[in-house]
Structure 1
Amino acid sequence: MPISPLLLRADEAPEPRTLVDIFRATVAAHPDTLALDNGRETLTYAALADAADDIADALVAVGVERGDRVGVRIPSGTTDLYIAILGILAAGCAYVPVDHDDPDERARVVFGEAGVAAVVTADLVVRATAGTIPDSGVREDPDLTDDAWIIFTSGSTGTPKGVAVTHRNAAAFVDAESLMFLQAAPIRPGDRVMAGLSVAFDASCEEMWLAWRYGACLVPAPRSLVRSGVDLGPWLIAN
C-alpha cells in the first residue's frame, strides 16, 4: 500500500532542541516582556531567567549534576514554583513535581521512586537528599536525550508510576503546538495564558510552554481558586 503524502513531511518538522533552548530564545527576543504575573509579583523574561539561573547554581553547589532528578513541592499560584522548574531544567536536570497540597506520604513515595538528588521547596529552599555530595562543579546544559520531567500517575491502581519525557520530545510537542493552534492569530508577547492545573499533572506543561514559547505572560492561579468554580470566572476577567 502506498504511503500517503501527508505522512511524508518529516522535513517540515522544526529542528530538534531542548526546552532550555526554547526558553533562552524567547528571553533573547523579549527580555523586557512580562513572563510571569501572579497578581502580587511580576517578572520579565530577563528577570525570570536570572532567577532560574540562581536556582540552577544553587543545585550545582549542593552536588546536583546534569541528568539528576530534582523534586519540586511549592505552593500553587506562586512565581517561585515556575522559577524552580526553570532552574532545574537550566541545571540539566529533570523536575519531579508533587502537588504542595498532597499528603506527605505521596511526596515520600514519588521522590523515593524517582531517586531525587535534591528537592526545591517553598521560598525556593534547595535541600540535597542523603548521598548527594556538595560540589562546586560546572553547570551543564541538558542534552536532547536527557529527561525534562518525570510526572507520576495518581497511583489509584497501586504504586504511582513515573513517566519520563525527554527534552527532544517535550520541545517537539511545544514547537508543534505553536504551528497547529491559533494559526490566524497566534499567541504573542503581551498575551496572557492562565496556569490553573497542578504541575504534578502533565497538561500543566502545555500551559507553561504555550506562554513561554511565544513570549506571552503566564498567569498562575491558586489551586483553591480553580477548584472553587464560582470564583474562577471573575478571576479570569480581572486577570
Structure 2
Amino acid sequence: MSSRANVQRDAAQGAAIGRAKCTRDGGIGKSEVTRQSRRGAARHESDSTVRFDLLQEIFEAQVDARPEAVATVFGQEEVTYLELEQRANRLARHLRARGVRRGSLVAMLLPRSIDAYTALLGILKCGAPYVPIDPEYPADRVAYILENSGASALVPTADLAERHATFGGVIARMDADGHAIDSMSSARLNPNTVGVSPRDLCYVIYTSGSTGRPKGVMIEHRSACHLVSVEGQIFGVRPEDRVYQGFSLSFDASVEEVWLAFQAGARLVAATPEMAHAGPDLSRMLSDAGVTVLSCVPTLLLMLEEDVPALRLLIFGGESCPERLVERWVRPGRRLVNTYGPTEATVIATYADLSPGAPVTIGRPVPGYRVYLLDDGMRPVPRGEVGEIWIGGVGVARGYVGLPGHTAARFMQDPFAPAEDREARIYRTGDLGRLNADGYIEFHGRADSQVKLRGFRVELTEIESVLMEGEGVLAAACALREDVPGVQQLVGYIVPSNGTVDEERLRSHLRSRLPAYMVPALIQSVTDLPRLPSGKLDRGSLPAPQAREVASKSAPTRPRTDTERRIAEVWEALFRPLTVS
C-alpha cells in the first residue's frame, strides 16, 4: 500500500473506530472520511450472519434443543425451558384472544418473578412489543408511560391493576386471570399468523428525560437479535452457566442478562427481593446460587467485600469502572469485561477485556456497530483528542415515542456510512471519548454533565477515581453542592472498608494527584452510597455534609466588631459546616 493510502486510511479513524490499524495521525474532513468509510477502511462490521429474525425465536431454539433444562430460578421456584415456553404460549394466545395483534404495545407491570419472564416472552410471541414498567415507580410515572406509549394492553398482577384502574386498554392479570390463561393451548403460534418482521418493534424502554418526563426508546427486533447474537460470540456463555438477573426489567441492562442466558440455554437466576436489597451480603447469596456470570454496574461491586468464587465472567457497564475494582476482582480463570452503550444503541456498543495494571477503556465497537468521535461541527477529531461519541450501525434505535423533535436532535443520517446503507443513522450520545495510542476508546464523561466550579471544568468521575485509591476506601462519590446560596463546593463521599479512614492522609493523596480546584472542600464518611433502581450512583441523593467539631486548644472566639462579624459570616458560608472563630 502506498504512503498516501496509509495516511488516508489512518486518518479515517478520527471518525469511525473499527478494525483498521491506525496511527497517531490526525482526523480529516467529512468527505474524505466518507470515502474511506465506504471503502470499508475504518468500519467494524460483523463477519457473521444473525441467525434469527425475531427475539423470541432465539428462546424457542433452546426450547427445541434442551426442553428439560432449567430456564429460570426464582428463590425456591424453577421452570424448565419447555415449561416456560408453554406458559408463554398460553399467555400469547390469551392476549390475541383479547384483541392484541402485531404492533400493539403491551405494558408489563410485574415484580421480578417467573411470571415476569412468562409475560415478556408471551407478549413477544403474540406479535407485540413489550413495555416494561417497574412496579416501584411512582403512580404518576406509571400513568405517564402507559399514556405516552399508547399501550393497548397491560399485564400486571391483580393488586397492581387496582392501582391503575383508569387504564382503558386490555388488562391480563397474571394471577387473577390465571384460569383463563391456563385454558389456552400451550402450542406455539404459527409465525405466519403472527406476521412480525425484523423491522417491527421488539420493546420500548423508558429512560430519564431532560424535560422531567421519561422518554420511550423504541428498539426493533433486528437490533435486539443482533445484540444477542454478537454477545453470544463475545461472552461465550455456556449451557452450564448460571446468569444472575439483578437489574429491573425496566432497564435495558436486563435485556443483556436475560438473553445471555436464553441464547445459550443456560440458567437465569432471578434476584429475589432479599437479593436485590442484600447490600454486602449479596456475595454470599450469589455464591449460594452458584452464579457464574454477573453483569452489573461497578457501584454494586464496590460495596461487596467478599469474592464470589464461582464467577467466571464479570461484565461491567453503566458507569465508569475504577482500575482498583479490576485489581480487587480479578482471579485466575475469571474474565472481566468493560462495556459501554446507551439504551438508544440497544444496550452496548463497545467492549474491552480488562486486566490488572492496564488502563480501563471502553474498548472497540461491538461487531455491526460504528463509533465516531466528532467535534461540535460533526467533524472527526484528531487522534488523541477528546470528541463526542456518536454511534452508528444496526443497534441504533428507531427513536423516541411521540417525540419527533427530540428524535431529530439525537438521531440523524450517518454521513460516514457505506454507500449501500443509505438508511443508516447515527445517534448522538452526549458522552466524550478519546482514541488512545493502542486504538481503544477512553471514556471521558458526559459532554453535558461536567460541572463548572469557579470557571474550571471538573469531571466528578476523575475525582472519584482518585478517592478510590485512598487507603481504607471501599467506595467513593463526589458532588458539587450549593448548600449555602451562591456558595458552591466539592464534597467527597467515602465508604470506609474498616470503619474509619485517615482523612489527612487521603487529602494528601488527593493533593498529590489533582489540581487544587479539584480537591473536595469536604470529605464525608457514609455507610452506603445511594443508588438508582438501575444500580447506578444516585448522585442527587447524596446527603448534605454533616457539621463537625474542630479540635482546638482554646475556646472559639466570636467576632467582636461589625467588621469581624461580616468577615466571619462570609467565612462561615464558605467553610460550612466547619465552625469559624
| Kept after mapping to 1: 8 A contact 2:104/2:128 | yes
Q: 2:168 aligns with which of 123, 130, 134?
A: 130
Which residue does the alignment assign to 1:166? 220
Which residue does the alignment assign to 2:173? none
Q: 1:180 aligns with which of 219, 225, 234?
A: 234
Q: Which residue identity is paired with 2:221?
A: H
Q: Deviations over 1:159-202 (max 9, x none)?
A: 21100100011000100111112xxxx32223210000001101
Q: Mind listing any 5+ residue stretches in structure 1 that lack a counterpart? A: 133-137
Equivalent-residue separation in structure 2 for 1:146 and 1:124 (angstroms): 32
Q: Deviations over 1:6-37 (max 9, x none)?
A: 73755533245110211111111111100011
| Kept after mapping to 2: 8 A contact 1:197/1:223 | no
Counterparts of residues 68-107 of structure 1 (less than 5 Å): 68-76=104-112, 78-107=113-142
Equivalent-residue separation in structure 1 for 2:242 and 2:159 (angstroms): 25
- Note closer, same or farther for the CA distance 1:198–1:9 as it changes in structure 2 (3 Å cut): closer
| Kept after mapping to 2: 8 A contact 1:51/1:83 | yes
Which residue does the alignment assign to 1:42? 78
Q: Deviations over 1:77-135 (max 9, x none)?
A: x11111100100101111101111111111110011011111111279999x5366xxx
- Note closer, same or farther for the CA distance 1:11–1:193 as it changes in structure 2 (3 Å cut): closer
Which residue does the alignment assign to 1:232? 282
Give the structure with the higher percent helix: 1
* 3-state SS of 2:79 partner: strand
Give the structure with the higher percent strand: 2
- Note closer, same or farther for the CA distance 1:75–1:5 as it changes in structure 2 (3 Å cut): same
* 3-state SS of 2:148 partner: helix
How far does residue 230 in structure 1 lie from its aligned partner after superposition? 2.0
Q: Which residue identity is paired with 1:61?
A: A
Q: Which residue identity is paired with 1:148?
A: C
| Kept after mapping to 1: 8 A contact 2:50/2:225 | no
* 3-state SS of 1:148 partner: strand
Q: TM-score, normalised by structure 2?
A: 0.37
Equivalent-residue separation in structure 2 for 1:37 and 1:212 (angstroms): 13
- Residues paired across the two proteins, number: 230
| Kept after mapping to 2: 8 A contact 1:196/1:223 | no
Q: Which protein has greater RCO, CA pairs closer than 8 Å, 6+ apart?
A: 1
* 3-state SS of 1:46 partner: helix
Equivalent-residue separation in structure 1 for 2:210 and 2:137 (angstroms): 14
- Note closer, same or farther for the CA distance 1:51–1:5 as it changes in structure 2 (3 Å cut): same
Q: Mind listing any 5+ residue stretches in structure 2 that lack a counterpart? A: 1-7, 9-35, 171-189, 290-581
Identity of aligned residues (%): 37
Which residue does the alignment assign to 1:218? 268
Q: Which stretches of structure 1, 4 residues or longer, exceed 3 Å deviation after superposition?
A: 1-11, 123-127
How far does residue 5 in structure 1 lie from its aligned partner after superposition? 5.8
Matched, 1:58 2:101: no
Q: Which residue identity is paired with 2:143?
A: R
* 3-state SS of 2:204 partner: strand
- Note closer, same or farther for the CA distance 1:219–1:31 as it changes in structure 2 (3 Å cut): same
Equivalent-residue separation in structure 2 for 1:131 and 1:229 (angstroms): 39
Which residue does the alignment assign to 2:149? 114
Equivalent-residue separation in structure 2 for 1:36 and 1:204 (angstroms): 14
Which residue does the alignment assign to 1:194? 244
Which residue does the alignment assign to 2:53? 17
| Kept after mapping to 2: 8 A contact 1:91/1:142 | no
